[in-house]
Chains A and B, each alone.
Chain A
């Protein structure tokens, strides 16, 4: 269990963006693994099995909110402009490379968690789980076009959170001496 608990917890957390829910889901995953312990004990596919179960359980958990993200996904059209895509690519290409590795990782994690569910879930399934667009559409019960649109919007939204003036600015402000307690004295 120790070998896989970080992977299972991360899988659930990236999809839910809620540590308490991710812990509950991880617990359920390991309880199911225990039921299939005889098959999994010597299987080289144990990691893959745990990841699949974690993903499926998390998606089941999120199903109750699915109508909400479908609605938001359908209300707004794909209005990403050329300049937005350019500036988003620039954020990922240059702005992030200027940060320290730890700072960059923390910032990316926060940006991912701050994305709305209807963008975060397909984005995580595509980039982390390496699921094809069609599989994501089938899993979430939305059209292929909407999956592509939501993922693209998610990338642009993440870039705007990571850009100077987004989350990074908040962090910077928090760390700057003028805003530290006792700085005025």
Chain B
């Protein structure tokens, strides 16, 4: 075991000892009153505003049974509605769909044209353009860094002296 490990272990042991010697902090006197008043406020609430676990059995059982019936019913109804919706939508969007397909063809032609134009540009030009763009970005970052370095200490200084 290295010296550092031994020191860390010693520090851990000492901190544990000091912290465990700490007594509990006394809870504020208001805590008990707060809890009791909150419990009283909850007890005053009508049964339908409390959790279902505390509802009267005469209400709870029918509600749970109703929910048990409703869940599959809603499921079946949703499926039926979705099926109907798909059928209706298909018949209604048949016309607009043709327009969308026409637009897709036009976009594909434009894409092919763009690709052809890019391919017709000499590679040296493309490479040069990319290098120029990267250089401009580098200059921009350098300017921002220099500006930040020059301005930041002043901001920190003014903040310290204002507070």
Q: Does B11 contact A (CB under 8 A)?
A: yes
Complex interface bits, A74-115 against B, C-beta within 8 A gives 1, otherwise 0: 000000001001101100110010000000110011001000
Report the interface size class on chain B: 20 to 34
Expressed in whole angstroms, the minimum distance between the Cβ of A131 and any Cβ of chain B is 13
A152 and B8 form a contact (CB under 8 A): yes
Q: How far is the CA of A116 from the CA of B18 in the complex (A)?
A: 19
In Å, the complex CA distance between A14 and B32 comes to 20
Interface residue A175 (Cβ < 8 Å from any Cβ of B):
no
**B30-88 at interface with A (beta carbon < 8 Å):** 30-32, 34-35, 38-39, 42
CB distance B11 to A89 under 8 Å? yes
- How far is the CB of B68 from the nearest CB of chain A, in Å? 25
Using CB atoms, name the residue of chain A closest to B9: A89
> At the interface with chain A, which of B19-27, B93-101, B103-111, B147-155?
B19-27
- Dominant SS at the B interface? helix
Provide the bound-state CA to CA distance between A82 and B25, in Å: 34
Give the chain A neighbours of B10 by CB distance below 8 A. Answer: 89, 93
A19 to B: closest C-beta gap in Å: 7
> Which of B10, B14, B21, B34: most chain A CB closer than 10 A?
B14
Measured CB to CB, the closest approach of chain A to B4, in angstroms, equals: 6
* Interface check B158, CB cutoff 8 A: no
The docked-state distance in angstroms from the alpha carbon of A108 to that of B19 is 8
Partner among A26, A88, A105, A123 whose Cβ is within 8 Å of the Cβ of B23:
A105
Q: Which residues of B contact A31 (CB under 8 A)?
A: 35, 38-39, 42
Is A23 a contact of B38 with CB atoms below 8 Å? no
Q: Which residues of B contact A (CB under 8 A)?
A: 3-4, 7-8, 10-12, 14-28, 30-32, 34-35, 38-39, 42
User: A residues near B, CB below 8 A?
Assistant: 1-2, 5-10, 13, 19, 23, 26-27, 30-31, 34, 82, 85-86, 88-89, 92-93, 96, 104-105, 108-109, 112, 123, 127-128, 152, 155-156, 158-159
